[in-house]
C-alpha cells in the first residue's frame, strides 16, 4: 500500500512572506505539490492562470460549488476563492504532500473537514516588524495599508489555532524549518499506522 | 524570559540501536543534554559511573526516593533504575532540551507526570530485522536471546503510545530525523505561547 501524503495548510498575516516561503519549500522536494486556488477575482498584472490561481467566471465557480468540486470556498471583498477538491485528493492518494496557502478563514474550514491536516502559521517576529513591512510598501495608499494592518491583526488572532508557528526572520531558515516540520510529521505515530500493523503480524 | 527546553523521551526495543542514535543526536547540538539514569545494578565491563549510569547502592537509591529526588523509578529484574529529577528540571529551566533514553515502562510514567514531553519511539523497519539483529549477537546464550525477543515484543506493543515513530534503517538518517523532530517541536504552538503573548500586546 502506498502511504498517503500529508495535507499542509499554511497561513499567516499579509507581510509575513508566506508566498515566498511556500515557493521555497515546494522547490526543496518533488514530493511536495502546491494546491492552486480557484478564484473569481480578476488577474493582477503578471499573474498567470494555472500558476497563481485558476481564474474562473462567477458562473464557472458556481458550477464547481454545485458539482461538489471545492473542498472549501469563501467570499472575500466580493470575490470568491476555493480549493480544488479533486486535485488535493488525487495528489494525497498518490503520496504527495499537498500545500495549501490560504487565509485563516479557509484554513479553519479545512481543519474542520480534515482534522489530520498539518496547520502551519508563518509570521514575522513582532507586530512592529510586520507594521514596518506593510507601511514600507510604497505602492499602496494609506487606506490600503490600514486595511492590510487590520486584516493582519485578524489573521494573527488565529495563530493559536495552528499546530506550528514559524517565525520568518531569515527566509532560508524559515524554508528549512517548514520542510523539517513536514518531514517530522511523516514520523508522527498517527501517520505511521502501517508500521504498527506490520509489527503486530 | 528564557524559553524552557523540551523534554524528549526516547524508547525502543533492544536491537533498535537507540543508544547510538541518542549519542549521535546529542553530538549535533550543545543545546541537547542527556539525562543519565541512576541505577542499583552493577557496572558492566567498560561502563563508567556518571557516563553510562550513576551507579548507586540500594540504600543510596532508597534515600533518593525518600528525598523525592527521582522523577520516576522502577525495578527491572531485581535492579532499580530512576531519573534524576533535579538534573532534568535545572536543564529544562536553563533552556536545554533534555533527552531521556528509557524503557517503555519508565516512559509511560514520564508521560503521565509531564504530558508535554515529546515521546519518540525508535525501531527497525520490521520484526524480522529486529530478530536477526538480536540472534546475530554471538555473545549471548539462547535464553538471553529469547528473553530479549520477548522484551522487544513487549516494548513494541507500546509504540502507538508515542508521538513519533522513527525507523532506524540508516544511522545518519535516523539521527537527522530525531534532531529534526526536536527542532520542529520547538515550533509547536503549545511550546510558543510567548510569541502569541507578544502579538496580543
**ipTM of model:** 0.86
Q: Kindly report the CA angle at B125 between B124 and B126, in degrees rounded to 5?
A: 95
* Grid coordinates given for A56: 474562473
Do residues B174 and B124 lie in contact, with contact meaning Cβ atoms separated by under 8 Å? no
Report yes or no on A102 lying in a domain.
yes
Report yes or no on B2 lying in a domain.
no
DSSP annotation of B60 = H
Predicted confidence at residue B197, as pLDDT, reads 52
Residue of A nearest to B157 (CA): A200
Contacts of A180 in chain B (CB under 8 A): 180, 183-184
pLDDT band at B1 (very low <50, low <70, confident <90, very high): very low
Tens digit of pLDDT for each residue in B77-124? Answer: 899 999 999 999 999 999 999 999 999 999 999 999 999 999 999 998
CATH number of the domain enclosing B114: 3.40.50.300
Report yes or no on B75 lying in a domain.
yes
Q: Residue B76 forms beta bridges with which residues?
A: B79
Predicted confidence at residue A1, as pLDDT, reads 47
Total domains in chain B come to 1
Report yes or no on B1 lying in a domain.
no
The average pLDDT across B112-137 equals 87
Higher pLDDT, A24 or B145: A24
Tens digit of pLDDT for each residue in B57-82? Answer: 999 999 999 999 999 999 988 999 99
Residue of B nearest to A156 (CA): B199
The residue range of the domain holding B177 is 7-200
Question: Which pTM was predicted?
Answer: 0.88
Q: Give yes or no for residue B201 having a pLDDT over 60.
A: no
Q: Extract the residue ranges of chain A whose pLDDT is less than 70.
A: 1-2, 137-138, 193-201
Predicted confidence at residue B2, as pLDDT, reads 62
Name which of B11, B21, B184 to mutate to probe chain A: the one with the most chain A Cβ atoms within 10 A of its Cβ.
B184
Task: Answer whether B160 sits within 8 Å of A198, measured CB to CB.
Answer: no
Tens digit of pLDDT for each residue in B36-53? Answer: 999 999 999 899 999 889
Report yes or no on A192 lying in a domain.
yes
What is the rounded CA–CA span in Å between residue B75 and residue B20?
Answer: 24
Strand order in the sheet with A79-84: A54-55, A38-39, A79-84, A70-76
Report yes or no on A56 lying in a domain.
no
What is the rounded CA–CA span in Å between residue A11 and residue A102?
Answer: 6
Task: Answer whether A163 sits within 8 Å of B199, measured CB to CB.
Answer: no
Report yes or no on A187 lying in a domain.
yes
Task: Answer whether B196 sits within 8 Å of A159, measured CB to CB.
Answer: yes
Q: Angle, nearest 10°, between helix axes B127-135 and B142-156?
A: 150
* Grid coordinates given for A92: 494525497
Tens digit of pLDDT for each residue in B4-32? Answer: 999 999 999 988 889 999 999 999 999 99
Contacts of A126 in chain B (CB under 8 A): 198-199
Smallest Cα distance from A144 to chain B, Å: 22
Amino acid at each position: 500500500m502506498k502511504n498517503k501524503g500529508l495535507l499542509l495548510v499554511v497561513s499567516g498575516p499579509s507581510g509575513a512572506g508566506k508566498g515566498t516561503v511556500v515557493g521555497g519549500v515546494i522547490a526543496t522536494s518533488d514530493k511536495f505539490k502546491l494546491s492552486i486556488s480557484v478564484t473569481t477575482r480578476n488577474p493582477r498584472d503578471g499573474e498567470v492562470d494555472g500558476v497563481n490561481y485558476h481564474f474562473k467566471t462567477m458562473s464557472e465557480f458556481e458550477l464547481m460549488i454545485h458539482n461538489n468540486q471545492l473542498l472549501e470556498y469563501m467570499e472575500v471583498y466580493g470575490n470568491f476563492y476555493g480549493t480544488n477538491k479533486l486535485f488535493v485528493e488525487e495528489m494525497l492518494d498518490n503520496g504527495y504532500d499537498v500545500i495549501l496557502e490560504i487565509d485563516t478563514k479557509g484554513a479553519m474550514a479545512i481543519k474542520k473537514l480534515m482534522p489530520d491536516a498539518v496547520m502551519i502559521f508563518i509570521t514575522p517576529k513582532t507586530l512592529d516588524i510586520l507594521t514596518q513591512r506593510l507601511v514600507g510598501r510604497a505602492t499602496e495608499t494609506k487606506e490600503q495599508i490600514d486595511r492590510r494592518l487590520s486584516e493582519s491583526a485578524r489573521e494573527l488572532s488565529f495563530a493559536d489555532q495552528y499546530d506550528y508557528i514559524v517565525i520568518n526572520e531569515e527566509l532560508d531558515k524559515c524554508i528549512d524549518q517548514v520542510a523539517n516540520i513536514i518531514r517530522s510529521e511523516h514520523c508522527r505515530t498517527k501517520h505511521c499506522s502501517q508500521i504498527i500493523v506490520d509489527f503486530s503480524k
